[in-house]
Structure 1
């Protein structure tokens, strides 16, 4: 699956959640609520990383749990970018180019 397919799939699932939220709460989540959900997912991921490094207990299938939580976090990033109108593919490419240039400028010349 390429980036645009992932983004489209994230939008489809977000639309389903929005429908559920409207039925349950009378309105879809705001971008602030999406961000709060993402923050919770990052906290869950942090706990699993702690289990991965041995500093805390974890689930029996840690690899599956890590994969799930990383996918949850990626979904949140894709959904939030869409909600605030950021072209994430462009932003990612530009940011990686900038970071690469910065890091290379800090390394000794070969």
Structure 2
């Protein structure tokens, strides 16, 4: 799957979550609530990385691979909501790093 397809699928999945948010809370999550969810998942990712390195014990019900992918998914969601073309920005970022 290319990045365009991943972004499109991510946005479709997030739209379904927005439906659940409206159903359960009367409105979709704010950008700040999405950011809070990402922050929580980054904390889980931190613990899973430390566990992999033998510096912590795994107490989360997730795998490192799952949390890494989920954090990317949240970044795609935030870029969409903030009207940032993440594909173009990632390409620009990589080109800048290559030139260094």
TM-score calculated relative to the size of structure 1: 0.84
Separation in structure 2 between the aligned mates of residue 54 and residue 9 of structure 1, nearest angstrom: 35
Query: Shift of residue 27 of structure 1?
Result: 0.3
Q: Distance in 2 between matches of 1:57 and 1:41?
A: 17
CA root-mean-square deviation:
1.5
**1:58-97 counterparts in 2 under 5 A?**
58=58, 65-97=63-95
From 91, 94, 97, give the equivalent of 1:99.
Answer: 97
Output one character per residue of 1:23-75: Cα deviation in whole Å (capped at 9) or x when no partner.
1000000111111110111110000000000001126x9xx701110111011
After superposition, the C-alpha distances for 1:81-105 in whole angstroms (9 at most, x for unaligned) are 1101111111001111112223xxx
> Structure 2 CA distance, aligned partners of 1:75 and 1:22?
20
Match of 1:106 in 2: none
* Cα deviation digits, residues 9-35 of structure 1 (max 9, x gap): 111110111000001000000111111
Which 5+ residue runs of structure 2 have no aligned equivalent? none
TM-score by structure 2 length? 0.92
In the other structure, the counterpart of 2:53 is 53
**Structure 1 unaligned blocks of 5 or more:** 103-110
CA distance in 2, matches of 1:75, 1:86: 14
